Structure 1
Amino acid sequence: MYLKDKVAVVSGASRGIGRATAIALAARGASVAVVYREQRETAQTVIDEIRGAGGRAHAFQADVSRADSVHALADAIANERGRIDILVNNAGVYGARPIGELDAAFFDEQFHHNALSVMLMTQAFAPLFGAAGGSIVNVSSNLARAPTAEAGVYSASKAAVDALTRAFALELGPRRIRVNAVAPFITRTDMTAGIPQAHLDQARERTPLGRLADPEDIANVIAALVSPDMAWVTGRSLLTDGGFTD
């Protein structure tokens, strides 16, 4: 229970990697703010699972790509918790289009939800960390390093996440706030449910560990990154892809 008495905020926590992360942090003792955008009922199932296992969690609604919504979220959590120790910027979207179908609206959508949200959340929640510091983990992607055809804009938005991770680590380090990222490959969530089976099979065959990730695989890495054992790690984006990326 190395996170006993710690307060964690997890965005996009009603499903997928965010859900698994909220559960993993709570299992290690943290009190978790489960942040969701639209799926209140799904978020409540996360709360129920955590509380059913003896953990602590509360749900908060916010659109983390909008400054006003993020600041209202930070105020609500500050009023209820007083401080935070862990921030996981997980919320995001995935989109793929060929060059001829790209437009400004698509570009803005990918960067707003994947990169701007990281900036807004970090900006709003950094003041809530206490003198002891804490840990921020951003969810990037292996595509930030190895883009694929038709996923260029998504890959660029995640490369921006990696750049923000490094820059924010430099800026927040003096306050003992560590900033890292995890960079998964295909993970079995509803976000990747539309990927053709042939592509999934090919990816599985190319992965040294011989399978695709489950959300818990990524959540466990996040939980490890925020632990005291990782106190000397900051400014890094850790590939969590089963060895897929060269």
Structure 2
Amino acid sequence: MTTASTGTAATAVTEAGARPLHGKVALVTGGSRGIGEAIALRLAADGAAVALTYRSREDRAAQVVKQIEQAGGQAWAVRADSADAEDVWSGVAGTVERFGRLDILVNNAGAGVLGPFEGLTLEDIDRVLSTNVRGPFLAAQAASAHLPEGGRIISIGSCMAEHIAFPGGTLYATSKAALTGLTKTLAKELGPRAITANLVHPGPIDTEMNPADGESAPMQAGLTALGAYGQASDVAATVAHLAGEGGRYITGASIAVDGGFAI
């Protein structure tokens, strides 16, 4: 497990002002790029100290940390593979050790293997399920020991868990659908402690992994009601709402940020 703390990021952190998460600490898994990066930056802009994990892109993680620090926030990046149980536990423990507490867990790290059902290997299955299902389960389990009253667990799913518009996503959809059961059960079990658990399902979002000018982009955009890709900041805004005071009475919910993909 290694850490990073320097670099620049493309997405700006807003100026200090109303900071609804001031004094809170958030852990965002897979926070070095794409949706995770946008979530880390938004939570920091809202006043939270942010820990973020990354698997391989130390340089990108360092950029996010520097962006937050340059805006006057606190951030820390730690190498932790969400498919590795020890890394998951260390990421949570390291966050608490670094910042003294943990208020918000965002299970964002994910892996995807798309292709015909018949061609999926055991290695593919183990990698995706370990990252997308076991990782969030273990992170929530570890975080629950530290979350105070009013704590938040927010997981990032996928529109493919609700609507299968094209073949080839069997394994990915299976893994993301599992988060619905996890989220609803966490909400019931942790509700007596006033800890909420919610699930956000992004649709086609413009990221490096799925760019809005990519080969399949016209098809994906055409499957949405709005006829367009969303931005990572759209997902981050919903996560920020759930993490803040406005989300205190929302739990066990699955919220689509998908431009109408799943309708």
Normalised TM-score (structure 2): 0.88
Q: CA deviation at 1:7?
A: 0.4
Aligned length in residues: 244
Note if contact 2:150-2:248 (Cα within 8 Å) is conserved in structure 1: no
Query: How far, CA to CA, are the matches of 1:196 and 1:37 in structure 2?
Result: 24
- Structure 2 residue runs without a partner (length 5+): 1-18
Matches within 5 A, 1:56-135: 56-130=74-148, 132-135=149-152
1:166 aligns with 2:184: yes
Match of 1:30 among 48, 65, 85: 48
CA distance in 1 between partners of 2:97 and 2:219 (Å): 49
Matched, 1:8 2:26: yes
SS of the aligned residue for 2:209 comes to: helix
2:238 is the counterpart of 1:214: no
* Match runs of 1:223-242 below 5 Å: 223-242=240-259
On the 8 A contact 1:65/1:120 being kept in 2, the answer is: no
In terms of fraction of residues, the more helix-rich structure is 1
Alignment match, 2:156: 139
Match among 183, 188, 200 for residue 206 of structure 2: 188
Runs of 4+ in 1 over 6 A off after TM superposition: none
RMSD (CA atoms): 1.6
Match of residue 174 from structure 2: 156
Give the percent of matched residue pairs that are identical in Structure 1 and Structure 2.
Answer: 36
Partner residue in 2 for 1:45: 63
Equivalent in the alignment of 1:245? 262
Other structure's SS at 2:229 match: coil
TM-score, normalised to structure 1's length?
Answer: 0.94
Structure 1: runs of 5+ lacking an equivalent = none
